Amino acid sequence: MILQNRRRFIAGLACVSATAACNNGVSSSGGSSIDRRVETTLDYLYNTEPGAFELSQSAAGMLVMPLVTEVGLGLGGSFGRGALVVDGSTVDYYSAAQASFGLQIGAQQYAHVLFFMTGDALFDFRNSPGWAAGADIEYALNNQGANVSTETTNLLSPVIAVVFGQAGLIAGATIEGTKYTRIIP
């Protein structure tokens, strides 16, 4: 039993490492590359979901992940890099990584933005050594593609996630279980 768990752990680690090695469009050329992608991602989001801009105006901060690559074949994982934006300026850079196990096959890419709606939620995120997205995150878009608006979200939720721009062969994208870690690009 311990040997099986160890093998699963090693296989999962290998899958996440392989995903991290994939070129997801954010090369290691530094923060300026990430900043350009964040700006482009926000422009796209605001143009396709006008209510997202209103949401950003109410947020204490936003973590923008311009491109997350996810792959899976039984074991799966995802990886991406982005920036924490507070008052319109980048204050930190983060990586996002997720490992998964289950009935899955395929690959996809997507973007997501976490809107920190309270100062406490932003403080907790910035002061944790590795923050993991949990079930308490509210998603602003449903599977039917409803528009982002203050009416469709609970502005009292500490963190609101918007996942968009999905392309690939894995159905759906979720950020539950994703671990965010501060990086130096």
Closest by alpha carbon to 171, among 98, 103, 81? 103
What pLDDT sits at residue 174? 62
**Residue 58, both tokens:** 């109410």
Give the tens place of pLDDT for each residue, 106-125: 888 989 999 999 999 999 99
Beta bridge mates, 108? 70, 168
Give the tens place of pLDDT for each residue, 52-102: 999 999 999 999 999 999 888 778 888 999 999 999 999 999 999 988 777
Give the tens place of pLDDT for each residue, 123-157: 999 998 888 776 567 777 534 444 444 444 455 68
Q: State pTM to two decimals.
A: 0.75
Mind giving me the DSSP string for 89-110?
A: EEEEEEEEEEEEEEEEEEEEEE
What ranges do the domains of the chain cover?
2-183
* 176 vs 164: CA distance, rounded Å: 15
Q: Which residue matches tokens 């721009």?
A: 165
